[in-house]
Amino acid sequence: MHKKTIRQTPLYIFSHTWEDFQLQTCEKCFGPMSLAAISLLSVNPNPSNTELFFYLPEDCGCGTQNRTVKAIKYAVYLKQKAKKAE
């Protein structure tokens, strides 16, 4: 059985992407945004932009959704690049 390392988990990917891109949200959307992103990455490790925009909440005016989509796509790219290097 293949065991995932901590660096391969959706939570790790999302939290480090959040830090690397210095994404700042308001209190209203941080929880829903992070839960939606982690849930989506758990089911689909390489979501399309359409899927990300569909699943990430956009009901907040702080404008984080677009930046979060870019950050997640970059994190997925880095994960795939690291996997190919192994």
Question: Using one digit for the tens of pLDDT, what is the confidence trace for 5-57?
Answer: 556 677 777 777 777 777 766 677 777 888 888 888 889 989 999 998 898 88
pLDDT value for 5: 57
Range(s) of the domain holding residue 36: 27-85
Cβ neighbour number for residue 3 with a 10 Å cutoff: 5
**Residue range 67-80: average pLDDT?**
83
Indicate the pTM of the whole model.
0.72
Does 8 fall in a domain?
no
Domain count, the chain: 1
Q: Which residues of 19-41 are buried (b: 16+ CB within 10 A; e: fewer)?
A: eeeebebeeebbeebbebbbebb
